[in-house]
Structure formats: C-alpha cells, structure tokens
Amino acid sequence: MQRTKVETCVEALCNQGCREVRGYIARLEQDEPVPELLGLSAQERRLVLAELKSIMSVYGDACRI
C-alpha cells in the first residue's frame, strides 16, 4: 500500500521528537509556515495537524525522553 503525503509528513515530523512536534502543532494552529509542509495543500496541512494532535493526545502534557 502506498503511503500518502500526509502520512509521510506526519512520520517525518514525529521522528523529530515530542517537543518538536508540539512546536509544529503550535505553528500550524497559528497558521504559521512550516517549511517541512510547503508542498502540501491547506487541506493536507489540516490533516497533518489533526493527526499530530491525535498522536500527542496519548502523551498528555509530558514529553518523555
């Protein structure tokens, strides 16, 4: 099965770590540019944001190392 651009971007962002992902979420919520997502449409960026928020909801407010 071929992965979508959204899935590929989510995985790449998550590989950067918890704190970085929280930064990406904050920037996306403020509609700030995220260079890693420049090739995505507005809808795809919204999907990335929703997926990142869903993933991070598992961790609550803590980032474990």
Segment 2-58, tens digit of pLDDT: 679 999 999 999 999 999 999 999 999 999 999 999 999 999 999 999 999 999 998
Looking at residue 28, what is its pLDDT?
A: 96
Question: In the structure encoding, which two tokens stand for residue 24, read together?
Answer: 């990406």
Model's pTM, two decimal places?
A: 0.88
Instruction: For residue 61, name the pLDDT band (cuts at 50, 70, 90).
Output: confident
Q: Which of 60, 61, 58, 51 is nearest to 24 (CA)?
A: 51
Q: So what's the pLDDT on residue 64?
A: 66
- Amino acid found at 64: R
